[in-house]
Amino acid sequence: MSTERDFLAITDFSTDELHGLFALADRMRTGEYRARPLEGKAFAMLFMKASTRTRVSFEVGAWQLGAHPLFLTPRDVQLGRGEAMSDTARVLDRMVDGIMIRTFAHADVEEFARYSSVPVINGLTDLQHPCQILADLLTIRQHLGTFEGKTVAWIGDGNNMANSWCDAAFRLGFSLRLACPMGYEPDATILARAQATGRVTLVRDPHDAVAGADVVTTDVWASMGQEEEQAQRATAFAAFHVNAALMQRAASDAIFLHCLPAHRGEEVSAEVIDGAQSRVWDEAANRLHVQKAVMAVLMGGEPLG
Ligand code: CP
Ligand code: NVA
């Protein structure tokens, strides 16, 4: 059973710990941090969904910290033939020093963490994408100096990204305005907890969300596993398109973020994602730095702060 610390959601870290993580990740980005706290360790990466950024950033990051990363998919491991999550967890637990999982049901990651005594990191579920939000926050810190006192506008689906943004606003106290169509709101419990801060609002018109915002961000209309809903979602999200006219309503120095992969011409226009306000490439690069910080802390005993 689980004895180690896991990272399944942003709220698994305290406010102070999150600040410590960003400071550590910054030292990794600048090259000041050169330690290899995972020397001789093994890190399993279990992908039940596709990935470019998460796979490469975790694999390269684990290697840079001294660990041996293992890339596992349902095509290779017995999970794909129905072996139980709990059995897989107890086997990996005895052979590796940390596990990252990307899967569908959040409950599967929680079950995995319960049955594993090594740290488990959430590489995306249908409910949460906490590693991406850490990278987004690091990018805001990099380009705007701080996220405190800033306003983030989320445009589109109340999906895993939106839920993790709500958790980040709950922990870090910045303002978050979510513009979501009816029926596509974030998880009710996660949203209510964030709204209790008084700084998180849900609106229906993207123009209301972006007015004066410091950060404008969005995501695909249909997430992995929702491919068959694409046509219905295209109708529901038609007005939730980030283009230059919408960006004009944000602060003049506002930045645009997108976790990627992006669909130009759907949730974002090419002029915005490829334009001067876009920081999406730094955002992707920050996945590496911030996840190295998470691995160094959870698996390598690196202190926070
Ligand atoms: N943003 C993100 O998680 O990208 P991948 O799906 O490519 O890992
Ligand atoms: N919401 C998207 C994020 C991809 C990184 C998905 O779950 O597919």
pLDDT digits (tens, 9 = 90+) for 92-118: 999 999 999 999 999 999 999 999 999
* Ligand 1 binding pocket includes 54 (Cβ within 6 Å): yes
Q: Under DSSP, is residue 146 helix (H, G, I), strand (E, B) or coil? A: coil
Catalytic site residue 102? Answer: yes
Please state, in angstroms and rounded to a whole number, the distance separating the CA atoms of residues 75 and 225.
17
How remote is the CA of residue 276 from the centroid of ligand 2, in Å? 24
pLDDT digits (tens, 9 = 90+) for 294-305: 999 999 999 987
CA atoms within 13 A on the CB side of 211: 6
- 219 Cβ below 6 A of ligand 2: yes
Quote the CA–CA distance of 34 and 32 in Å, as a whole number: 6
**What is the per-residue pLDDT for 2?**
53
pLDDT at 27: 97
Q: Is 287 in the active site?
A: yes
From ligand 1's centre to the CA of 102, what distance in Å?
Answer: 10
What confidence score (pLDDT) does residue 1 get?
A: 47
Relative to the CA of 54, which ligand 1 atom is closest?
8
Beta-carbon contacts of residue 216 (< 8 Å; ≥ 6 apart)? 153, 155, 210, 242, 246, 247, 250, 254, 255, 256, 257
Neighbours of 189 (CB within 10 A): 10
Q: 179 with 155: CB under 8 angstroms?
A: yes
Alpha carbon 261 to chain centroid distance?
A: 13
- Tell me the C-alpha distance between 283 and 275, whole Å: 15
Give tens-digit pLDDT for 136-171: 999 999 999 998 899 999 999 999 999 999 999 999
The pLDDT assigned to 287 comes to: 98
**Does the beta carbon of 139 lie inside 6 Å of ligand 2?**
no
Using most ligand atoms within 8 A of CB, pick from 154, 223, 226, 266 the residue to mutate for ligand 2.
223
Report whether residue 259 contacts ligand 2, using a CB cutoff of 6 Å: yes
pLDDT digits (tens, 9 = 90+) for 206-220: 999 999 999 999 999
User: What is the C-alpha to C-alpha distance for residues 280 and 177, in angstroms, rounded to an integer?
Assistant: 20
From atom 7 of ligand 1, which residue's Cα is the shortest distance away?
A: 52
Hey, what amino acid is at 155?
A: I
Whether the pLDDT of residue 225 is over 90: the answer is yes
Q: Tell whether ligand 1 has an atom less than 6 A from the beta carbon of residue 287.
A: no
Is the CB–ligand 1 distance for residue 159 below 6 Å? no
Domains and CATH numbers, the chain: 10-129+285-298 (3.40.50.1370), 131-284 (3.40.50.1370)
Q: Note the pLDDT of residue 37.
A: 98
How far is Cα 210 from Cα 206, in angstroms, rounded to an integer? 6
Could you give the CA distance from residue 176 to residue 249 in angstroms, rounded to a whole number? 16
CB 144 within 8 A of CB 150: yes
Alpha helices in 94-236 (DSSP H): 106-115, 130-144, 160-172, 188-195, 206-210, 230-236
Closest ligand 1 atom to residue 124 Cα is: 3
Region 183-192 average pLDDT:
98
Per residue in 58-81, pLDDT tens? 999 999 999 999 999 999 999 999
> What does the pLDDT look like over 3-57, one tens digit per residue?
589 999 999 999 999 999 999 999 999 999 999 999 999 999 999 999 999 999 9
- Output the pLDDT for position 3: 56
The secondary structure of 199-240 as a DSSP string is -EEEES-HHHHHTT-SEEEE--SS-TT-GGGHHHHHHHTTT-
List, edge to edge, every strand of the sheet that includes 120-122.
Answer: 68-72, 42-47, 98-102, 120-122
Span from the CA of 284 to the centroid of ligand 1 (angstroms): 9
Which of 136, 167, 214, 219 does the annotation list as catalytic? 219
Structure pTM? 0.98
Residue 258 forms beta bridges with which residues? 218
For the Cβ of 160 lying below 6 angstroms from any atom of ligand 2, the answer is: yes
Does ligand 2 lie within 6 Å of residue 218's CB atom? Answer: no
Q: How many CB atoms lie within 10 A of CB 84?
A: 12
Q: Ligand 1, from 45, 51, 56: best to mutate by most atoms within 8 Å of Cβ?
A: 51
75-90 average pLDDT score: 94
- Taking the centre of ligand 1 as the mean of its atom positions, its distance from the CA of residue 198, in whole angstroms, is 31
**Residue range 225-239: mean pLDDT, rounded:** 97
Active site residue 171: no
Q: What is the DSSP string of 254-294?
A: -EEEE-S---BTTTB-HHHHTSTTB-HHHHHHHHHHHHHHH
Residue 148 has a pLDDT of 85
Q: One-letter amino acid identity for 234?
A: A
